[in-house]
Amino acid sequence: MNATVLTASHYGVVRFGDLQCEAVVLTSGERGYVRRQLAKLLGFHENHGNRFARFLADFAPNSLSELKKTREPILLPSGRQAQFFPAGIIADVASAVVSAAISGTLHKARQGIVPNCMKIMRALATTGEVALIDEATGYQYHRAPDALQDLISKLLRQSCASWERRFHPDYYRALYRLFGWKYQGHDQNPPHIIGQITQRWVYGPVLPADLIDEIRTRKGLCCPSAQKHHQWLSDQGLARLETQIHAVTAIARSSTCYRDFDRRCMAAFAGGSLQLGLLIDDLEEVA
């Protein structure tokens, strides 16, 4: 056997809504997917290797170095060989595609993959990529038991960061449209229901209640009126938040009214409140 062939110790099928993709965990502990299947979800087939590479260069240029490290095939438990696609890239790709669609800059030839990218984003926002792979492959039973505190430390900062705008005007315009309101800009104080939507459908699917309570406690010890939840999030926490903002914006823009929006969010994010158990399932997600 070729010494360069890496071995998958765990194998299973990840589900992004009604989409399916083969997932693996290598003997090194690295998670990922069978590249051919993941490419197919994004509209590419086996003979489109160069086109798929150019697509990734457009939407996830910072991840190309990771892909170059995984050119050699992997050996699946069945004995079949396949190309590996590492975890940690697909969320960036899906988010970039949806963002381009929202801004109107997505080429019409790629419009057809937007629904699949939305399904991928919804699945990752609700559960987390590592958790999906670990559950599908059974690797969840082999994780370190003390990883919970490690992940929490990755999602929260030790101190409050200075304020930066995290919610784009497009987010508010999309929500205001559901009620027939005109968004006047950031100088306008949003109605209370907009804050409720943000808490339930943006923060809820990203952070469990325990972590939200921790943020509120830290804010209470400082100056709560001058702080926003996102000021306590680490870079990794902010990345999860940004992905969720894009997802909620896209759903709001495509909904006919608030009730339609609420139903779609309920279906996409499983009620809106991430449980601590799901956070534990996300323990080894890389920053």
Output the pLDDT for position 142: 59
Q: Which residue(s) pair with 12 in the sheet?
A: 23
Relative to beta strand 81-82, strand 74-75 is antiparallel
Stretch among 152-166, 234-248, 271-285 having the lowest mean pLDDT: 271-285
Please give the helix or strand (H or E) that residue 169 lies within, else none: helix 169-178
Distance of CA 177 to the CA centre of its chain: 25
Across residues 194-220, what is the average pLDDT?
80
Alpha helices by DSSP H, listed for 166-222, are 169-178, 192-197, 209-221
Residue range 3-62, pLDDT digits in tens: 567 899 888 999 888 899 999 988 888 888 998 888 888 888 766 557 888 888 888 887
* Spatial separation of the C-alpha atoms in residues 47 and 139, rounded to whole Å: 32
**What DSSP line would sit under 246-264, residue for residue?**
HHHHHHHHH-SSHHHHHHH
pTM for this prediction: 0.50
Cβ proximity of 274 and 204 under 8 Å: yes
**pLDDT higher than 80, residue 148:** no
Task: For residue 42, report the phi and psi dihedrals to the nearest 5 degrees.
Answer: -100, 15
Q: In what order do the strands lie in the sheet with 6-16?
A: 81-82, 74-75, 6-16, 19-26, 31-34, 84-86
Nearest to 67 by CA among 42, 88, 98: 88
**Residue recorded with tokens 């309101």:** 181
Diameter of the chain by CA atoms?
Answer: 66
Residue type, 47: N
